[in-house]
Structure 1
Amino acid sequence: MPPPPAHYGEGPSIWQKMKMGAIMGGGVGLTIGFIFGSWSILRQGAGPRGVLATLSQYMLSSAATFSFFLAIGSVIRSDGLPPHLQAAQMQFLAPALSVRSKAEGAQLMKARWEVERRRLAASKE
């Protein structure tokens, strides 16, 4: 299998991800607002403002809410760090994330116990 390319290209920025989340949330919110607004108008009537004003209020409020939360969620979910920060993160986290076999773990644990026994024996003397 060939090695992966050295440079993958730039992904979308956080601002672009936020805009994309807001646009997607707006679309979902408009749809949900249309469905629930229509249902509410059919069940309870349009009220004094009329059908169009009531339906548009449902749709716009739902779209604004969904847009806000999806924009925030897409920013929170963005895990893209600049390359120099990714390298630093990998450098510092690599020893803590190393996976060992059960035999290596048992050997390390026995060695630590032996060091602890020696330290306790030396402190009792």
Structure 2
Amino acid sequence: MPPVPQQHGQAGPSVWQKMKMGAVMGGGVGLTIGFIFGSWSIIRGGAGPRGFMATLSQYMLSSAATFSFFLAIGSVIRSDALIPPHLQAAQMQLLSHSPLVSSKAQGLRLMKARWEAEHKCRSSTQA
């Protein structure tokens, strides 16, 4: 499915909104993972003295709390850039295509000039 085109006149979600969205997504993932691992643990080792529902809910809630905490923090850290991610990618692409040396011959000339400058510097300090 192609991404939804963004309109230039509207601002993106705030950091608070991104944090809430990360927490909700983490909660959903955590509940699912907690259900899977809690069910497996109950099937494998029994429900324990507290019963099936209490044990399963403890697995689910602890997993949901952990996932939501870390995904909320991760979504804030990810959105902490000064410029939007698509502009950062364009900037990196432009910077990577501007080579310092355009040809092998130019690189060889630059290297020889640096060697000669270093040789002159060493010979002047030894004398």
Query: Could you state the TM-score of these two structures normalised by the residue count of structure 2?
Result: 0.67
* Structure 2 counterpart of 1:51: 52
| Alpha-carbon offset, residue 68 of structure 1 | 1.4
* Structure 1 counterpart of 2:107: 105
| Alpha-carbon offset, residue 9 of structure 1 | 5.3
| Alpha-carbon offset, residue 77 of structure 1 | 2.8
Identity of aligned pairs, percent?
A: 71
CA RMSD of aligned residues (A): 3.0
Instruction: Give the distance between the partners of 1:106 and 1:20, measured in 2 at CA.
Output: 54
* Structure 2 counterpart of 1:15: 16
Listed as ranges, the matches of 1:1-125 within 5 Å are 10-78=11-79, 80-82=81-83, 98-99=98-99, 100-103=101-104, 104-125=106-127
| Alpha-carbon offset, residue 35 of structure 1 | 0.9
Cα 1:114–1:66 change in 2 (3 A) is same
Cα 1:72–1:105 change in 2 (3 A) is farther
Instruction: Give the distance between the partners of 1:13 and 1:59, measured in 2 at CA.
Output: 29
Instruction: Give the distance between the partners of 1:26 and 1:114, measured in 2 at CA.
Output: 64
Aligned pair count reads 110
Flag structure 1 segments of 5+ consecutive residues without an equivalent.
Answer: 1-6
Query: Could you state the TM-score of these two structures normalised by the residue count of structure 1?
Result: 0.68
Runs of 4+ in 1 over 4 A off after TM superposition: none
Cα 1:10–1:36 change in 2 (3 A) is same
